[in-house]
Structure 1
C-alpha cells in the first residue's frame, strides 16, 4: 500500500476547499430531501462558518491534506476532536474526500488510516462519521476499514 501522510491544510487550500465544501454539502442535503434548493448554499455556508469560526486555526479541529511522499495532494479531511453530540472520547469526521483522479487506487484507505492516526495522536480514542446512504463507495470504504453502523436514519416518501 502506498504511504499517505497528513499535513495541515494551508490558508489558500482552505479557501478553495470551503467553496467546494459548501456547494457539495448543499447539493447532498437537497438530494437527500433535507433542505430546500433555494436556500441550501447559504445554509451550508452558514453552518460551516459556525463550525469553523477561526478557519484553519479553529481550536480542537484537524483540517488536513493527504499527501504522497513526493508532496502530491490526494485528498482532504476535516475532523472535530469534540463530538458534536458529546460522545466521550470520540472525534467526528465531518468531511473526507479523495481527489477524483486518485479514487479506486487504495489511497483512500491509506489516507483514512493516516487521519485515524492523527486523531489518535491528538488523544482521542474513536472516530465517528455520517455517510449518505446513496454513497456506496464511501460506505464500502468505511465498512472495510472497521467502521460499524451505530445508528441509522430511514425515510419513505409518502407522496409522489
Structure 2
C-alpha cells in the first residue's frame, strides 16, 4: 500500500501510546474474565513495566508508526525481537492498532506486513502473537496473512447447579 509509510515511533509518540495501551490491556483482561476490574490497571501497568523496563529505550523492541503520505498517523506496531517465552528465532507482536477512522482500508494488513519485514531485516525467522478469541476482525486479518494457530486456550463458564 504505497500511500502508507512506516517509520520508527518517536519518544513523544511512545509516551502517549504507552498510557493508552496499558488501559486497553487492562480493559481487555477484564472483558476476558482474567482479572478483576479493581486490580486490572495496576496489573496491566506491572506487566507493561516488566516488558519495557527501560521504556522507549528497552533493547530488542521495535515501536513503529504507520502514517499516510500527508503525515497523518493511522496506526502503531510494537514488536519484541525475542519471544517472551524464549521460543528460538521467533519475535513477538505485542500490539498493532489502527485508528478507528482508518479501519477497513487495508492499513492493518500493510502495517502488519511492514512489521514482518522489519523482523526479517533483524534476522529473525518467525513472529508470533496472541489474540483474544472474540476479536473476529483481528483473527481474520492474522489468518488471511498466513498466521496459524499454534496454541489455543478455551474457557467455559460454569453455572452452579440448583
* TM-score of the pair, normalised by structure 1: 0.95
The structure with more radius of gyration: 2
In the alignment, structure 1 segments of 5+ residues that lack a partner are none
In the alignment, structure 2 segments of 5+ residues that lack a partner are none
1:9 and 1:56 in contact (8 A); partners too? no
1:41 corresponds to 2:41: yes
Alignment of 1:23-62 (within 5 A): 23-62=23-62
> 1:17 maps to what in 2?
17
Deviations 1:86-134 (A, max 9, x none): 1111000011111111100011111111111111111111110000001
Alignment of 1:102-117 (within 5 A): 102-117=102-117
Shift of 1:52: 0.7
Shift of 1:36: 0.8
Shift of 1:2: 3.9
> 1:134 maps to what in 2?
134
SS at match of 2:123: coil
- Aligned-pair Cα RMSD in Å: 1.2
* TM-score of the pair, normalised by structure 2: 0.94
Q: Please give the alpha-carbon distance, in whole angstroms, between the structure 1 residues aligned to 2:78 and 2:67.
A: 15
> 2:92 maps to what in 1?
92
Q: Please give the alpha-carbon distance, in whole angstroms, between the structure 2 residues aligned to 1:8 and 1:127.
A: 19
> 1:153 maps to what in 2?
153
Q: Please give the alpha-carbon distance, in whole angstroms, between the structure 2 residues aligned to 1:102 and 1:146.
A: 23
> 1:6 maps to what in 2?
6
1:78 and 1:94 in contact (8 A); partners too? yes
